[in-house]
Amino acid sequence: MKEVPESVAAAFQRSGSKLAFSPPTDTEAVVATFGEQPSNSQNEQYGFEHGMKFQSEKELQVHSVGGGIVSEIGVSDQYGKYIKIVHGDDIVSVYGGCSQIYVKSLEKVQKGQLIASVSPENNGSLSFELWVNDEVVNPADYIDF
């Protein structure tokens, strides 16, 4: 794991664990990780993944990776239905591709709380991003997958 800035590490410290965020959903459902994506059989690049993508044949239950406040719920071309949660110290988690959302804007959430679900219909997938100091970061540097 990469070295975490002290101010960020302080936000994660819970029960003696240095990085106490948990995965947003079933880790076996990971289909894409942060960074450049490999090319397909036609040698076309898939682009850059700004977080992690999860997909399953079953409905995915989406949980908050840590305690915080729901700062925004909306719909966008980039994320579809999405949730943003502020965890303090300029740490924000983003959950896109949600089919159902179970929280409200400005609601306080706990680590592990069910916040949304993603349906497998129409190749539904969860796009998860973690932002630190207004920059997207590799979630695997902060969460033990």
Is 41 a residue whose pLDDT tops 60?
no
In this prediction the pTM is 0.81
**Structure-block tokens of residue 99:** 């089919």
Mean pLDDT on 124-144: 90
pLDDT at residue 18, rounded to an integer = 44
pLDDT (tens digit per residue) in 22-32: 999 988 888 77
Q: What's residue 26's pLDDT? A: 86
Q: In CATH, which of 3.40.50.720, 2.40.110.10, 3.40.50.150, 2.70.70.10 is domain 6-141?
A: 2.70.70.10
SS3 of 78-143: the string is CCEEEEEEEEECCEEEEEECCCEECCCCCCEECCCCEEEEECCHHHCCEEEEEEECCEEECHHHCE
Spell out the domain ranges in the chain: 6-141
Nearest to 100 by CA among 51, 143, 62, 58: 62
Q: How confident is the model at residue 14 (pLDDT cuts 50, 70, 90)?
A: very low
The more confident residue out of 39 and 87 is 87
126 vs 142: CA distance, rounded Å: 18
pLDDT value, residue 116: 98
Would you state the pLDDT for residue 124? Answer: 84
Collapsed DSSP state (helix, strand, coil) of residue 60: strand
pLDDT band with cut points at 50, 70 and 90 for residue 47: low
pLDDT beyond 70 at 44: no
**9 against 64, higher pLDDT:** 64
